[in-house]
Chains A and B, each alone.
Chain A
Amino acid sequence: MKQLAAISVLLVVCAGYSHGADECVKCHQLLGDKPTQLFKKDIHASKGISCADCHGGNPKSDDMERAMSKAAGFIGIPKGDAISEACAKCHADEATMKSFGSALPVNQWKFLQTSVHGKLAVTGKEHIAQCTTCHGAHGIVSAKNPASPVHPLHVVKTCATCHSNAVYMRSYNPSLPVDQMEKYRTSIHGMRNAKGDAKVAECASCHGAHDIRSAKDLKSKVYATNLPATCGSCHSNAEYMKEYGIPTDQLEKFSSSVHGIALLQKHDLGAPACNSCHGNHAATPPGVESISKVCGTCHALNADLFSASPHKRAFDDLLLPECETCHGNHEIVAATNELLGTAPEATCGRCHSEEDNAKGFQAAALMRLLADSLESDEQRAQRLVDEAEQKGMEISEAKYKLRDARQARLEARTMVHAFDSEKFSEVIGKGLAVASTVHGEAHAAVDEYYFRRFGLGIATLILSVLVVSLYLTIRRIEKKQQKATVL
């Protein structure tokens, strides 16, 4: 009954207005509905786009039945995927967008369809997100406008509407955490964002806006091998980062580091990307006190040995970051013997000078000497094994054994972190013993090779002498036989 009354009022009111203006707005304003109020501020309204451009119908007619008739193309309130399809009618068409003087890209619809939001569905009736889910329906403003829900300062809250809703997310992806926003607020990015810095990274900066893909998707901006470039898009931009006063060479350094080469060139997904050390949503630089914990996540043995070593206390006293002091941070290169010892390029000499700290200086020199000895002995054995192999000798056992020397060398590189000469010598000693055994066996194989050649020479000589003597014997016998026949 109430509905009938409302429609009657509407019909009477609408009939009072003259023809020519947008009849939809006139009537709906009188009804006082919220969308019409919001639409006044909508960017679309400012461009002269009418209600009928999205909802269909005849905006010129003041007769409600005619204006909202199917014959006039009225579709009512679009539901589900039809919402995005209605937006795409203009936003995916370059000519239409140009006619409104818009420089917006026209690929958002395509991107949305390939994104995790446009590909997956919760109910099966419609895909997860439509344009209106993030941008709103009426009252849409430019993303640069601080009033927009997708403005950098608001986008986190917009995303969190769903992503922090455990009940909703459970129905879509139960394994996905729902604490991203909380973590984000603890990060440097989040704290600055909360203070009104629109330049810092928010959700869309890393995940993309329309083309959001699962982090496991190779094309995702946050897939392990793509992540350094994603972070680098801001952090390597000196102009953009100017006001923050932090270096902008991290990506360059990381790319040439042992981690960067493993991840970016060898595509080893076990290698760390930026987020492995800095975190992702809760991104924050590890402090002096936590750096060894971060590195120790993967390099557990090294971290344990270091923590039990005398260096731990010394580093803490001097407020030195543990791993970083010797290995650097973004530019970490493969650890070689050069890092060790007292030479100018070695790190030990930076603290241990011969005058001020003779004990540490001597220990560093000794450890370097031992490490170099093992490396050179291993190489010497390897060369001889190769030579024996090239000579066709059966040397597979020695070759296999040589792996133990390599293992000892790697073990020694870990043992360095105990900073204990005795323990280090013990490991090196194991490797030296193996290298020496292998060298001996390879040497014997090479000697055997020459012995065989020599033996063959002797055997050939003896056989040749026998052949010649036999030949002469045959000739002698046959001559005697011929003589006997003649006689």
Chain B
Amino acid sequence: MTKLYAWVDERVQLEDLVHFMGKKYVPVHRHSVWYYFGGITLFLFLIQVVTGILLLLYYKSGEELAFESIQFIMSKVQFGWLIRSIHSWAANLFILAAMVHMFSVFFERAYRKPRELTWLTGMLMLFLGLGFGFSGYLLPWNELAFFATKVGTDIAGVVPVIGKPIMIFLRGGEDVTGATLSRFFGFHVAVFPGIFTVLLGIHLLLVQRQGMSEPIGAESGAAATQTTMPFFPNFLLRDLLLWLIVLNILAILAVFFPWELGQKADPFAPAPAGILPEWYFLFMFQTLKMIPAHVWFIDGEVLGIVTFGIAGLLWMLVPFWDRKSARGEQNRTITYIGIFVVGYIIILTILGWLL
């Protein structure tokens, strides 16, 4: 083992890396638990990559093949059912973990200088994650996915000026067809993973370079009085422990609640009752349903979409307009905005399920 280490070290200077990791410390405070969500999100992403590649070995894109190939994976391929169920469950847990990670960073103001770029890349990855979810949802070409995609792309088409071209670009035509399936497949397995990998690389590099952010006020204390823990092995082993627990949860979900396949999509069939998007789009969907058809002279749906667009942009640019936090001062307005947004998402999601 020592010989092998020496052999590698001689060639790639492992000593430098070990030295760097040995000197890296993670702050310990009452909010430290939130640090782990970044790791959990990363772990779930890695699971997606591995299970996604395995599914790719059998999945066939195309109107006539997609549903049947998933059926084949679920019934004939050894452990195919497990891989597909884990891929579907991990996708949902990934979005959940990423959202928890994002909100914890928001409430901790960890986006403040000098971590604006880390926040920006993180937000872009979250949006890409939603894109992964939206595009992956259609790939089994089942009834629910077909109509959810139809509704989802319809909503995109409502955006003034650019909406219609975007909708046609997404669908590969006027309607959701096999062409839509082909390009969603392309986005899901090539375009999005490529961009995501670059963003993830930058994100991780920045985290390593800048270290973990500390809550406002903690930096002002004398270095000697601060509690820390070594990144290696303490934090990394804790990460690993959580990853194992998440893996166990995934296995239980996959075995006890295997992801259903439903009925094959039939473009000529009427839309079944109660079409709902994935849970992470539900709050937006419910909002659009609740907005009146016309607010003053503006179309209700347009108003909703534009408002979400602006709100999302403002949220993404928070490091640049929250000057107080950047100066290291407490900014209660940010906390109130955060609480409002979390409350809004939770309530509207519940309403979306119930109504």
Contact = CB atoms under 8 A, between A and B. Distances in A.
A464 B75 CA distance: 29
A129 to B, nearest CB: 47
B261 A463 contact: no
A467 interface: yes
B252 A474 contact: no
B156 interface: no
A262 B67 CA distance: 38
A470 B82 CA distance: 26
A474 B234 CA distance: 6
A269 interface: no
Contacts of B233: 477
B240 interface: yes
Interface string B228-267: 0010011001101100110110011001001011000000
The dominant DSSP class at the B interface is helix
B302 interface: no
A477 B230 CA distance: 11
Interface in B3-30: none
Interface stretch (A20-28, A87-95, A131-139, A391-399): A391-399
Interface residues of A, number: 24
Given A394-B74, A477-B237, A478-B234, A467 B244 contact: yes
A299 interface: no
B81 interface: yes
Contacts of B75: 393-397, 445
B73 to A, nearest CB: 9
Contacts of B230: 481
B177 interface: no
A395 B261 CA distance: 11
Range of interface residues on chain B? 20 to 34
Contacts of B92: none
B182 interface: no
A460 interface: yes
Given A394-B261, A464-B248, A474 B241 contact: yes
A477 B82 CA distance: 36
Given A453-B255, A456-B255, A463 B247 contact: yes
Given A397-B75, A470-B241, A460 B252 contact: yes
A451 B248 CA distance: 17
Interface string B55-72: 000000000000000010
B102 to A, nearest CB: 27
Interface in A373-422: 392-397
A100 interface: no
A452 interface: yes
A392 B252 contact: no
A383 B243 CA distance: 41
A202 B123 CA distance: 87
A121 B267 CA distance: 47
A471 interface: yes
A394 B244 contact: no
Interface string A442-467: 00010000001101100110011011
Nearest to B70: A394
Contacts of A394: 71, 74-75, 81, 261
A478 B75 CA distance: 47
Nearest to B84: A394
Contacts of A455: 255
B258 A392 contact: yes
A37 interface: no
A478 B237 CA distance: 11
B237 A459 contact: no
Given A393-B75, A394-B261, A470-B244, 5 more contacts: A394-B71, A395-B75, A460-B251, A477-B233, A477-B237
8 contacts: A393-B75, A397-B71, A460-B248, A463-B251, A467-B248, A474-B241, A477-B233, A477-B234
